[in-house]
Amino acid sequence: MRVLLTGSNGFIGSAVAGALRERGDQVLPLVHGAAREGQATFDLGEGTIDATRLPGGSLEGIDAAVHLAGAPILGRWSATRREAIRSSRIALGDLLARMLAALERPPSVLVSGSAIGYYGDGGEAELDETSPSGSGFLADVCRAWEASTEPARARGLRTVSIRTGIVLGPDGGALAPQLRAFRLGLGGRLGSGRQWTSVISLADEVAAILRGLDDTSLSGPLNAVSPAPLRNAELTAALASAARRPAPFAVPAAALRLALGAGPANEMLLSSQRVLPRRLLENGFDFRHPDAASAIAWAISRR
Q: Divide the 303 residues of the chain into consecutive groups of 10 and give the mean pLDDT of each group.
A: 96 97 98 92 95 95 97 93 96 98 97 98 98 98 98 98 96 82 86 97 98 97 98 95 87 94 96 98 97 94 78
pLDDT recorded at residue 185: 81
Quick one: residue 171, left, alpha or beta (phi over 0 = left, psi -120 to 50 = alpha)?
beta
Give the homologous superfamily in CATH for domain 2-302: NAD(P)-binding Rossmann-like Domain (3.40.50.720)
Return the biggest CA–CA distance within the chain. 61
Of residues 89, 91, 125, the one with CA closest to residue 275: 125
Residue 262's alpha-carbon distances to 76, 143, 163, 257, 265, in angstroms, are: 9, 21, 23, 5, 5
Whether the model pTM is above 0.85: yes
pLDDT recorded at residue 96: 98
pLDDT recorded at residue 60: 96
pLDDT recorded at residue 173: 80
Q: Which amino acid is at 208?
A: A
CB distance 6 to 30 below 8 Å? yes
Residue boundaries of the structural domains of the chain:
2-302
CB distance 12 to 70 below 8 Å? no
pLDDT recorded at residue 167: 96
Give 213's contacts (C-beta < 8 A, 6+ positions apart).
1, 3, 64, 66, 109, 111, 160
